[in-house]
Amino acid sequence: MAELTREDFIIYLKEGRSLTELDYSNLDLRGLDLQDAQFDGSNFTGAKLTGNNLGWTSFRQCVLEETDLAEAMLIHADFRGSNLRRSNLSDTNCKETVFTDADMDKADLTRADLRRATLMNANLQNAILFGTNLSQAICINADFRGAQTHGAKFEGAVLQGAQGLDF
């Protein structure tokens, strides 16, 4: 993977180059509209995407460990098979976002809106879910062991095989 600077990234965007399988680690990408982008297989470790529009964006098989996505708009984004360990997803809009097979261990999802999100086989161990809305989310076989769920909403969520929830 080639490591990029913010300036390189902006040039790639303007030129319509492929954004997949690149190294965006520790880049500050705040303030960019990245809706509909394809980042599959890329590394975002430690990157800052705070407040960005990332709706309908594909992050399949990405490494987003310790990435700051706070307040981002992630409607219909796809994080299948991605590593989001210790990432900040607080106050994000993740309606209908796909987190199937994602590793979200110790991720901060405080006040995140995950209504109708898909979290099949997701690892949410030790995640912070204070005030998180998981209404109508599909959480089949999701692992919530050790997660902090005070104030989280699970109305209508599909929880077959989910572990670590004591209602």
**50-61: per-residue pLDDT in tens?**
999 999 999 999
pTM, two decimal places: 0.96
Q: What DSSP string describes the chain? A: --B--HHHHHHHHHHT---TT-B-TT-B-TT-B-TT-B-TT-B-TT-B-TT-B-TT-B-TT-B-TT-B-TT-B-TT-B-TT-B-TT-B-TT-B-TT-B-TT-B-TT-B-TT-B-TT-B-TT-B-TT-B-TT-B-TT-B-TT-B-TT-B-TT-B-TT-B-TT-BS---
Q: For residue 2, what pLDDT is reported? A: 58
The CATH code of the domain that includes 50 is 2.160.20.80
**20-44: per-residue pLDDT in tens?**
999 999 999 999 999 999 999 999 9
**58-96: per-residue pLDDT in tens?**
999 999 999 999 999 999 999 999 999 999 999 999 999
Report the number of distinct structural domains present in the chain: 1
Domain hosting 34: range is 1-167
Q: For residue 1, what pLDDT is reported? A: 54
